[in-house]
Amino acid sequence: MVSRKSNPQSKTLWAYAYQIQPPQAEPRLRGIKALLDHEHGDAQRGARTWTGRLVLDALMTHILVVSDGPEQNREVNRKLEAELAGLKAGFALTAPMPVVDVLPL
């Protein structure tokens, strides 16, 4: 059995998701995809961790987010929610959950 020791350079990342119903077709999500890509680039330039991915499913569309903090009231969240309102898509936001023992990116 392998034991995992805590690395002093490891940091906690946070994951949360937007759950969108009804499911959305990929072409309708172009604006959201562009927003996710833009925010990821901004985070990289600022030495932060933030990434978002679209997951298309038959029952629901998901936006999975991994970030260096649990905050869900950032500007990017407000922009995402405005885009979703423009699509007239209902959504729920999950609570952030820690992802621990992650090596720095």
The predicted model gives 70-83 an average pLDDT of: 95
Mean pLDDT score of the chain: 89
DSSP 77-93: HHHHHHHHHHTT-EEEE
Residues 24-45 have pLDDT tens digits of 999 999 999 999 999 999 999 9
Instruction: Output the six-digit token pair for 54.
Output: 């679209």
The predicted model gives 70-84 an average pLDDT of: 95
Higher-confidence residue: 60 or 2?
60
Domains by residue range for the chain, with CATH: 12-97 (3.30.70.600)
What's the predicted TM-score (pTM) here? 0.83
